[in-house]
Chain A
């Protein structure tokens, strides 16, 4: 049988199957279009996929765990495989988690994959969010997906917190105790909320089954819905692309969904699952049998939550003991502020940022080509400041371990953190902005003078010059992507230097200031006195560019 015959046999089979569905669902046209959908490539575009596939792995492993886990706080006396806890009173939830770990084959592996996947899920969301932010991929028309993403981040945090609370071990029970303390600090309704959530006094008998149903049904369903919306919107709007040759806001360049993207993203799923399986094979996570069952009377030193809650742990540790007793009521600022304000600044700031930026720049146009992080220096500086803010709290959440490890007094660590949460982000902002602007200058120089080749040539006049080689077409397109910022509509000053009407008043002045800060950049084509001169000579003419004579430098032609 020849290859051609085999192919046509396959084709016939596919034609029959495809035809059967198309008769009923009318899909040929739209599926053909979808199969040819173009997906641009960049390694950072894989971060969101990590989050997506971790979530799928969480659903798969989580379903397995529900087959064996008993979400019950009924007291039992343990007589199981883990003999060190033989005869110990514990909740059924904890006993069944021991059972999953020691008596169900593959149970420990699934538990560990589930826990690692949760950490990877959150880490990937943070990294993906950072990528979106520093490249400006949240700009119009993608603000909705940005907000959906932030919502999923919040849901992911809650889902993780509730999930690791379920085994009812000493560590997770302590986490719930802290949750109770935080809820109690809410003015007016705090005590009632706590009693309703816990079904009475802490810990009660209700919290595990209640967290269970929220963890396995409510939040996963919400995240699943939002993930679907997130992907559909991305699909509909077409993915952004990084700047490059021929890439504009009016096109999208990449590889077709079928078969390229499909195969690559499928491989990526297998890699992520494989790496999580590897971690769960060699790196133990959350060994609850070592912690023992929860009792409110016990605790172990070095109690740290998973990293995505470490931020809140840090805020609680760093904040001073301010409390008000007014008119027979207690306002626990010492708990309320650290629990709400830093995270509130983080999430609210992130959610509002696309709109603040639009207001400050007056830029209401669609953006599909991402910025390189250096080309939005203020934005990147804010991102790094936010990372510093987050990391300082995260590290303060482990202040006891840091003090122990570095042999610094514990209180000194906390005092350093108290100043660092203000100074760290400020320093990070200034330094990052300088670095970005410096990189832009470097880009401009590269564009105008080319690459240093290291070849020194003597001219007939006796002068020594270094030969410069112009950058490649691809690289030049990337360098040229640093566009000059648009002026504010209506301008900031008129021809006589008088402030424009739009910049007067408090909000006008604020807007003008924000605009100035956000417009700070070193555009490749301006401000250096030797912009593009329209030279369109061929490549060989431009190969020898002299240094030391700026006016002789041959600038590349302007793309526009």
Chain B
């Protein structure tokens, strides 16, 4: 640093870099030809294809050290490299123009058109970027001389004097501030900042309502019809001519209410007589039709896969497996509880209805569940 202090910074309009010994030139400028010729070390030993030039620049990147050789050793090779770089840059330019042309020429607005547009825009963009990258690499490797520079490192720790001086400054400042001397200021400042820090947290309170046991209940009530999810029509027990597949049902009136569906979605499965066994609550079944919550007791994914031959309900997220004819008990996986069973009944028109809400909270565990 002290060395640099003797070096005046470049002045506007000054003949920067004309003096050979001192690096007066302005940042970003190439070294002037005169300086180069006087300082260049061993023009024969280095070059783009030659061995690396080893130069010790001393401290901080070599102030006033020997100048590196600039010109490549083999002008013919360099010329070829130059042409390759320029060709790649032109290719990139053409690709960018192609990108703009594709943007203007290929409208979006249908799936096929979008895929064509994506192909054209993406290809043009790929070429535009890769060509610049490839050109720059050839430029560095074939045209710039292959130099190797050594820079000294110094221990990162400051000298003892510097540390001592800092400590003194710090203590002096602390004393000037009277922070140590006047504890009442210190303590009241801390007392002031604590509630100041808590206040913003309190502000977050209105981000949502309190739970109020809402997770314990769903919208199912005595007499709520079961709608087949999708077509959203009610279903009669007689419509199941053969036992088999799993049907997703939702409470009537809530088929588009995602908050309600997040807890109330259920599944019904029809069995052959005698297949359903305890711990299934048989009195909650209608004509061998059983209804379970679809919300997995692990982390709440819909348990939607059903293996008809083995009567297993599988949650596709984490593979909790439930035994459909035996109260949806857990056969495998991370779910801790069976899927809750919904009591079923038939209303006056013969449609399947709920005979009340689930008798336990559905879905994943939560602290207040108990």
Q: Please, how many angstroms separate the alpha-carbon atoms of A177 and B259 in the complex?
A: 12
Once the chains bind, are A278 and B365 in contact (CB under 8 Å)?
A: no
* Residues of chain B with a CB closer than 8 A to A15's CB: 10, 12-14, 16, 25-26, 29
Say whether B48 faces chain A, with CB atoms less than 8 Å apart.
no
A221 to chain B, nearest CB (A): 17
Known: A20-B12, A270-B132. A320 touches B370 (CB 8 A): no
Q: Which of A26, A36, A280 contacts B149 (CB 8 A)?
A: A36
Say whether A165 faces chain B, with CB atoms less than 8 Å apart.
no
Residue of B nearest to A257 (CB): B61
Say whether B231 faces chain A, with CB atoms less than 8 Å apart.
no
* Residues of chain A with a CB closer than 8 A to B7's CB: 29
Interface string of B241-259 (1 = CB under 8 A from A): 0000000101000001011
Known: A26-B9, A196-B207. A109 touches B121 (CB 8 A): yes
Say whether A334 faces chain B, with CB atoms less than 8 Å apart.
yes
Interface string of A168-182 (1 = CB under 8 A from B): 000000100110111
* Residues of chain A with a CB closer than 8 A to B192's CB: none
B319 to chain A, nearest CB (A): 6
Once the chains bind, are B316 and A301 in contact (CB under 8 Å)?
A: yes
* Residues of chain A with a CB closer than 8 A to B179's CB: none
A525 to chain B, nearest CB (A): 25
Q: Please, how many angstroms separate the alpha-carbon atoms of A26 and B140 in the complex?
A: 30
Say whether A141 faces chain B, with CB atoms less than 8 Å apart.
yes
Once the chains bind, are A184 and B364 in contact (CB under 8 Å)?
A: yes
Known: A181-B300, A296-B258. A105 touches B106 (CB 8 A): yes
Once the chains bind, are A35 and B61 in contact (CB under 8 Å)?
A: yes
* Residues of chain A with a CB closer than 8 A to B317's CB: 174, 178, 299, 303
Residue of A nearest to B366 (CB): A184
Residue of A nearest to B211 (CB): A191
* Residues of chain A with a CB closer than 8 A to B321's CB: 411
Say whether B305 faces chain A, with CB atoms less than 8 Å apart.
yes
Q: Please, how many angstroms separate the alpha-carbon atoms of A405 and B48 in the complex?
A: 52
Say whether B194 faces chain A, with CB atoms less than 8 Å apart.
no
Say whether B164 faces chain A, with CB atoms less than 8 Å apart.
no
B13 to chain A, nearest CB (A): 7
Interface string of A270-296 (1 = CB under 8 A from B): 110111011011100000000000111
Known: A263-B144, A271-B129, A299-B304. A238 touches B151 (CB 8 A): yes
Residue of A nearest to B143 (CB): A263
Once the chains bind, are A274 and B108 in contact (CB under 8 Å)?
A: no
Say whether A86 faces chain B, with CB atoms less than 8 Å apart.
no
Say whether B170 faces chain A, with CB atoms less than 8 Å apart.
no
* Residues of chain B with a CB closer than 8 A to A32's CB: 23, 27, 61
Q: Please, how many angstroms separate the alpha-carbon atoms of A346 and B363 in the complex?
A: 30
Known: A81-B110, A263-B136. A250 touches B153 (CB 8 A): yes
Say whether B330 faces chain A, with CB atoms less than 8 Å apart.
yes
Counting chain A CB atoms within 10 Å of each CB, the highest count among B130, B294, B299 belongs to B299
Q: Which of A195, A268, A294, A301 contacts B209 (CB 8 A)?
A: A195
Q: Please, how many angstroms separate the alpha-carbon atoms of A343 and B270 in the complex?
A: 43
Residue of B nearest to A332 (CB): B365
B92 to chain A, nearest CB (A): 9
Q: Tell me the residues in window 200-243 of chain B with beta carbons closer than 8 Å to chain A beta carbons.
A: 204-205, 207-211, 214-215, 229
Q: Please, how many angstroms separate the alpha-carbon atoms of A77 and B122 in the complex?
A: 31
Say whether B49 faces chain A, with CB atoms less than 8 Å apart.
no
User: How many of B's residues come within 8 Å of A, CB to CB?
Assistant: 111
Say whether B156 faces chain A, with CB atoms less than 8 Å apart.
yes
Please choose the segment from A197-205, A353-361, A426-434, A490-498 that sits at the chain B interface, where 4 or more of its residues have CB less than 8 A away: A197-205
A93 to chain B, nearest CB (A): 13
B124 to chain A, nearest CB (A): 9
Q: Please, how many angstroms separate the alpha-carbon atoms of A109 and B117 in the complex?
A: 9
Q: Tell me the residues in window 123-163 of chain B with beta carbons closer than 8 Å to chain A beta carbons.
A: 123, 125-130, 132-137, 139-140, 144, 147-153, 155-156
Say whether A11 faces chain B, with CB atoms less than 8 Å apart.
yes
Known: A81-B109, A295-B258, A303-B317. A411 touches B332 (CB 8 A): yes
Q: Please, how many angstroms separate the alpha-carbon atoms of A331 and B336 in the complex?
A: 11
Say whether B356 faces chain A, with CB atoms less than 8 Å apart.
no
Q: Please, how many angstroms separate the alpha-carbon atoms of A36 and B23 in the complex?
A: 13
A211 to chain B, nearest CB (A): 13
Known: A7-B33, A250-B153. A191 touches B366 (CB 8 A): yes
Interface string of A18-40 (1 = CB under 8 A from B): 11101100111101111111100
Once the chains bind, are B136 and A29 in contact (CB under 8 Å)?
A: no
* Residues of chain B with a CB closer than 8 A to A334's CB: 298, 334-336, 365
Known: A22-B10, A177-B299. A328 touches B370 (CB 8 A): yes
Please choose the segment from A96-104, A380-388, A452-460, A463-471 that sits at the chain B interface, where 4 or more of its residues have CB less than 8 A away: A96-104
Say whether B261 faces chain A, with CB atoms less than 8 Å apart.
yes
Once the chains bind, are B316 and A267 in contact (CB under 8 Å)?
A: no
Once the chains bind, are B365 and A185 in contact (CB under 8 Å)?
A: yes
Once the chains bind, are B118 and A109 in contact (CB under 8 Å)?
A: yes
* Residues of chain B with a CB closer than 8 A to A543's CB: none
Once the chains bind, are B208 and A199 in contact (CB under 8 Å)?
A: yes
* Residues of chain B with a CB closer than 8 A to A338's CB: 334
Once the chains bind, are A184 and B365 in contact (CB under 8 Å)?
A: yes
* Residues of chain B with a CB closer than 8 A to A264's CB: 136-137, 140
Say whether A188 faces chain B, with CB atoms less than 8 Å apart.
yes
Once the chains bind, are B117 and A106 in contact (CB under 8 Å)?
A: yes
Counting chain A CB atoms within 10 Å of each CB, the highest count among B7, B12, B334, B336 belongs to B334
Once the chains bind, are A11 and B32 in contact (CB under 8 Å)?
A: yes
B29 to chain A, nearest CB (A): 5
Once the chains bind, are B30 and A195 in contact (CB under 8 Å)?
A: no
A27 to chain B, nearest CB (A): 7
Say whether B46 faces chain A, with CB atoms less than 8 Å apart.
no
Q: Please, how many angstroms separate the alpha-carbon atoms of A260 and B106 in the complex?
A: 40
Say whether B97 faces chain A, with CB atoms less than 8 Å apart.
no
Q: List 28 A-B contacts (CB under 8 A).
A: A38-B151, A106-B103, A191-B215, A191-B368, A192-B211, A196-B208, A201-B263, A250-B152, A251-B152, A252-B150, A253-B150, A263-B136, A267-B132, A274-B125, A278-B126, A296-B261, A298-B248, A298-B302, A299-B301, A299-B304, A299-B316, A321-B298, A321-B330, A325-B370, A330-B369, A331-B367, A332-B365, A334-B336
Which residues of B are interface residues toward A (Cβ below 8 A)? 4, 7, 9-14, 16-17, 23, 25-30, 32-33, 54, 57, 60-62, 103, 106-111, 114, 117-119, 121-123, 125-130, 132-137, 139-140, 144, 147-153, 155-156, 204-205, 207-211, 214-215, 229, 248, 250, 256, 258-259, 261-263, 265, 294-295, 298-302, 304-305, 316-321, 330, 332-337, 363-370
7 additional A-B residue pairs with CB within 8 Å, beyond A11-B32, A201-B263: A102-B114, A201-B262, A249-B153, A256-B61, A302-B316, A334-B334, A399-B319
Which residues of A are interface residues toward B (Cβ below 8 A)? 4, 7-8, 10-11, 14-16, 18-20, 22-23, 26-29, 31-38, 75, 81-82, 89, 101-109, 112, 141, 174, 177-178, 180-182, 184-192, 194-204, 206, 237-238, 246, 249-256, 259-260, 263-264, 266-271, 273-275, 277-278, 280-282, 294-303, 313, 316-317, 319-323, 325, 328-332, 334-335, 338, 366, 368, 399-400, 410-411, 414
